[in-house]
Amino acid sequence: MNKIKILIFLTILAFSTNSISAPKIDIKTGILVDYNSGEILFELEPDMSIYPASMTKIMTSIIAFDLLKKNQLKLDDEFVISENAWRMSRSGYSSMFIMLNDKVSVEDLLKGIIIVSGNDACVALAEGIAGTEENFAEMMNEKAEELGLENTNFSNSSGINDPDNYSTVRDIAIMSDYLIRNYPKYYEYFKDTEFTWDRTGGDPITQGNRNPLLYKKFGADGIKTGYLAVEKYSLASSVVGEKRRLIAVASGFQTKNKRSSDSIKLISWGLRNTNTYEVSEKDISNFKFKTWLGKKDFVNVTTKEDLYITINKKEVRDFKVYTKYNGPIKAPIKKGEELGELIINKNEDETLTIPLYANEDIKKVNVFKSLLMSFNYMIWGDV
């Protein structure tokens, strides 16, 4: 059994001696996830049932983005504004202020939903896509089931108070990850800080994005705020920094200011106390195994998926990566054939084992050369 140790050059000069104790924030429930590795860095009652308020609009956006990606919907498609949608703007809710019987494009409705949290825009989009908001909620729940959201149910497209519209911060984090990963083009809307709606029958209305982190020069590029009297303030946020992305979802902030400051505190804690490393890139050969009777002396091997590892900075000295295989590996070798393992020791207590696969075909040498190599091996050994 050969073991080839892989040297990974980690930036450990700035090794942190800070405490890894949980950040002190005043919330009911929260979660912090590394986007690349999927590691949960912090959680507090992550499966507690909450009313997601306007964080519901994350799923509303996903449904529209899905249809756009499948070419079943276009950004310049227009929907006629119903009385149901129009009345939402007359009821004191956050609104885009669309007018009855107007024709509004899908793109404008999406901006009204994502940037200014317009409940009227949600109803208009839902009715335009599914005929009724009830039908649209069924589409949302079908998507929730597809994503494996075990503690979520949607009863409307906007998140206005309804006991049957509930979720958890864990499920909202999963939704957020799916949104960012699958619709990078449309996700760009979430970082826009304002939207001007050139409405019919009045002056244009310019409103700012409700997400306070977008104005902090903190690396935030989304996602969605929420507020209901029963839940207080909530926020699903995404911050990019140092070649990594963190997703935070929390609910139960007592004030708008605490929503902003404590979200920053949570994400800063994650960035300060952990690092994420790219160990392997899908279909890129970072590792090699020795071959026997092959036309090449080594075969390139790789993982089938990108592999990122998140570790506490205080544990970086214990982080080890090496390969293990029975070798040399006899040719012929087929691309995609499982040949060995990537062993990752995160710390003394946690070890991961990842299969490694041939990233190329290796043909066997001809009979004459095979005999010569075998003869040399018997006389001289492995030279």
Domain boundaries, the chain: 29-275, 281-380
Q: Which of the following is catalytic: 37, 54, 89, 176? A: 54
Which position has the higher pLDDT, 19 or 303? 303
Whether 281-380 and 29-275 are alike in CATH topology: the answer is no
Segment 341-369 mean pLDDT? 85
Between helices 133-146 and 57-69, what is the axis angle to 10°? 80
* Cα atoms in the Cβ-side hemisphere of radius 13 Å centred on 328: 17
How much is the pLDDT for 31? 98
| Residue 214, phi then psi, degrees to nearest 5 | -65, -20
Q: Which of the following is catalytic: 57, 111, 224, 346? A: 57
Where would I find the beta strands (DSSP E) of 270-334? 274-280, 287-292, 298-302, 307-312, 320-325, 329-330
From the candidate CATH numbers 3.40.710.10, 3.40.30.10, 1.10.10.10, 3.40.50.150, the one assigned to the domain spanning 29-275 = 3.40.710.10
In whole angstroms, give the CA distance from residue 190 to residue 37: 23
For residue 96, give the nearest of 84, 110, 82 by alpha carbon.
110
> What are the pLDDT digits (tens) for 193-252?
999 998 877 889 999 999 999 999 899 999 999 999 999 999 999 999 878 999 999 999
User: Contact at 8 Å (CB) between 96 and 197?
Assistant: yes
User: Contact at 8 Å (CB) between 166 and 155?
Assistant: no
Segment 162-185 mean pLDDT? 97
Residue 117 among the catalytic residues: yes
How much is the pLDDT for 62? 98
In whole angstroms, give the CA distance from residue 298 to residue 365: 13
Amino acid at the residue 271: L
How much is the pLDDT for 353? 93
Residue 57 among the catalytic residues: yes
Q: Which of the following is catalytic: 37, 94, 117, 234? A: 117
DSSP percent split of the chain into helix, strand, coil, nearest 5: 30, 30, 40
> What are the pLDDT digits (tens) for 113-160?
999 999 999 999 999 999 999 999 999 999 999 999 999 999 999 999
| Residue 247, phi then psi, degrees to nearest 5 | -115, 125
Q: Does domain 281-380 have CATH number 3.40.950.10?
A: no
* Residues 6 or more apart in contact with residue 251 via CB below 8 angstroms: 27, 28, 29, 30, 50, 52, 169, 226, 231, 232, 233, 234
